[in-house]
Structure 1
Amino acid sequence: MKITPLLLNLALSPLLLSCGTETEPVAPAEILRPVRTLEVEPTVTKATREFPAVVDAASSANLSFRVSGIVNEMLFKEGEKVKKGEVIAKLDQTDARIELKSSQASYETARSNFQRGKKLVGPGHISQSDFDKLNAQYATAEAQLAATRQSLNYTVLHASFDGRIARRFVERHEEVTPQTQIVTLQDISTLTIQINVPESIMLRTRKKTQVHSYFVKFDAIAEQRFPLKLKEAAISADEENQTYEVTFTMPRVKGYTILPGISAVVVIETESSAEDNGAIFHVPASSVLEDMQGRYVYVVEALAESDTNPETSKSGVGVIQRRTITTGELDARGLLISSGLKQGDHVLTAGMSQAQPDMKVRWNPGTKP
């Protein structure tokens, strides 16, 4: 058979085409392993302490007369309400009124002599020294009149604030002196409660990282407690027992008669997300690894390009890093981590055996405990 040039060209053309159009190999796309992480938050630690306490009035005063005398009137009984300025008790005013009349007469005489002398000293009918004596007598009489008026006012005892008569110490017809207590007036619209806190606890209560809640409970009111407000805390310790006095306030409780002197228990609840050396965390025990260098976890950190990559913007791309940690006790919350982590770290919780530092992974950073 004779092969023509046309047939030869047709037979060789596929070989020639294959030799002239070789394609370059395509690199396989990088496959990112999806991982699960846990975003850590500081662990909140709670503590409750109780302190014995006694209820007291927000304001309390022992009222006394400022002059001596015989009690003529006692206008309120124990437990009764009084308003500021109301008369609580009166002394017999007979002697005080007599003294006032005498002082008034002496004042009128001295004033008259002073006015007459004032007219005579100018023309020289009396000497300047005589006029000065009249002036001094007038001033003395005026002061004496003011004093006797004040003494008369002091025979009336007024309430210094709104409150209740807690105690009555005297009755009518009793003789009293300025030091004699007449009544105890208390304002119990707001109650105060004091406790003594040891030095070791006082140091902890001053930590800014702690949140405190204060309550009070009473034996006679079962299964109930009432919120307190911190009023003040002493900054110097009691010399005898080395404790600090802390005072709380509470409003009146409707439906209950809580009076000064009643025993109580103050409950202080603290919540803290930090210890002395920093924040603490809890992670699953299975996420903690250990080798010759110690215990560690893997954390996933976001890559900057993952924010703009449309193919990975949903799940994100991150890189694995190793973190050396210090661990504590294991409890229901997980294994305590006292150092090596910070708030917001994303700890790898699965596939740790296949992980290694600087390895890129696909992840969802939204998972929280």
Structure 2
Amino acid sequence: MLMEAPDTHGVRNFPARIDANRKAELAFRVPGKVQELLVKEGDPVTEGQDVAKLDLTDFQIVVNDRQATFDNANKNFNRAKKLIEEGHISKVDYDRLEREFKNAGAALETARQDLEYTSLKAPFAGSIAKRHIERFEEVEAKQTVLSLQDVTVLVVKFDVPEAIIRDIRADRTRTGEGRDRVKFFATFENLPGQQFPLSFREAATRADPKTQTFEITFTMEQVAEATILPGMTATVTADLTALGEIGIVFTVPVSAVVGDYKLDPRVWTVDEQSMTVKPQEVKVGRMLGDNIEVLEGLEAGNRIVTAGTPFLVEGMKVTLMPTSEQAEPRADDPKQ
């Protein structure tokens, strides 16, 4: 495999998608008729605020019924405690009354909890993105009633090719979290001439099977002068020139990297004049599917072996496979 330097540096633009930092589909935990819808689409809400309520009539009836059952079971059980001490009831009857008391208590607690569930509350501060039902509708448990989103911080997602995701990862590995050399900015059509800084959140380690690109995610603060909403588009601009200062990062098959007797990673490089191999120590980075990053130890123009590496020894002659120019050990090599 021939190591080639990718031409990925310079200023690059990427189409991006905007999403909310936090999203939630709000639903009641119990079924019933919606008695009150307390918010409209676009309304701001605070954490814990009531946003919808069910008709609690039937739930209150159940609570009252189970309260009466519990009170009766509690009275019978308290009487049984005295009677068993005096020897007037059997242990079997006592155990039955105790069991009825505990079951009645559990049933009452469940009914009270269901009554509380008739009030739907916002789990975090945000705004109502969509209202899915109307007042007086019958809803099932876990049926989406409202969509809530937090847009004080926005998520910016875009796709980059393999070479760029590799270099960005290497930049973060070498400089450390929060000290990236490359700065990313978002721009919007309705805000000409303005750039908004982005903060790195995460990057996918598996490529999209259709596009062979990697999704990368950044965050940005909401724009005060013009609200940016999920579903909008942006252009992300990055000056990748600084990546050239940290050296080239190569991606090689995992099979190309082996450990020496100290378990330090190395690859086998090929001298193309003599077609012999020698070990080369390398510094590796992250796994990318079946590949691994090589951060140090290789240069553009190096040729490495990617198959049969555990069986190589220094000075062994190899040949190139015609289909992929992969070096492989020669069958007539006396060092095998």
- The code of the aligned residue for 1:248 comes to F
Deviation at 1:239, TM superposition (A): 4.0
Deviation at 1:180, TM superposition (A): 1.5
Q: Does 1:225 align with 2:201?
A: no
Q: Does 1:110 align with 2:54?
A: no
**Number of the residue aligned with 2:248:** 276
| From 221, 227, 232, the counterpart of 1:251 | 221
CA distance in 2, matches of 1:274, 1:250: 26
CA distance in 1, matches of 2:123, 2:15: 31
CA distance in 1, matches of 2:159, 2:58: 50
CA distance in 1, matches of 2:31, 2:131: 18
Q: Does 1:145 align with 2:104?
A: no
Say if 2:38 and 2:52, in contact at 8 Å, map to a contact too. yes
Say if 2:167 and 2:248, in contact at 8 Å, map to a contact too. no
TM-score (norm 2): 0.67
Deviation at 1:69, TM superposition (A): 0.4
Deviation at 1:199, TM superposition (A): 1.9
Say if 2:184 and 2:238, in contact at 8 Å, map to a contact too. yes
Deviation at 1:61, TM superposition (A): 0.4
TM-score (norm 1): 0.61
Deviation at 1:274, TM superposition (A): 4.5
**Number of the residue aligned with 2:320:** none
Q: Does 1:50 align with 2:13?
A: yes
- The code of the aligned residue for 1:88 comes to V
Deviation at 1:60, TM superposition (A): 0.7
Deviation at 1:276, TM superposition (A): 2.9
Deviation at 1:254, TM superposition (A): 1.7
- The code of the aligned residue for 1:48 comes to V
Structure 2 gap ranges (5+): 1-7, 175-179, 250-298, 301-336
Residue aligned with 1:102, SS: helix
Choose 193-202 or 173-182, whichever is displaced more. 193-202
Choose 84-93 or 238-247, whichever is displaced more. 238-247
| From 103, 123, 126, the counterpart of 1:160 | 123
CA distance in 2, matches of 1:114, 1:54: 64
CA distance in 1, matches of 2:37, 2:17: 30
CA distance in 2, matches of 1:182, 1:108: 36
**Number of the residue aligned with 1:262:** 232
Say if 2:44 and 2:126, in contact at 8 Å, map to a contact too. yes
CA distance in 1, matches of 2:197, 2:64: 58
**Number of the residue aligned with 1:202:** 165
Question: How is 1:1-369 mapped onto 2 (pairs within 5 angstroms)?
Answer: 47-208=10-171, 211-270=181-240, 271=242, 272-276=244-248
Larger radius of gyration between Structure 1 and Structure 2 = 1
1:192-241 residue CA offsets vs partner (Å, 9 max, x unmatched): 11112222221121223672111111122222221111111122333443
Displacement over 3 Å in runs of 4+: 238-242
Change (3 A) 1:256 1:190: same
CA distance in 2, matches of 1:241, 1:98: 58
Structure 1 gap ranges (5+): 1-44, 278-337, 340-369
Q: Per chain length, whose mean CA-contact separation is higher, i.e. which structure has more relative contact order (CA < 8 Å, sep 6+)?
A: 1
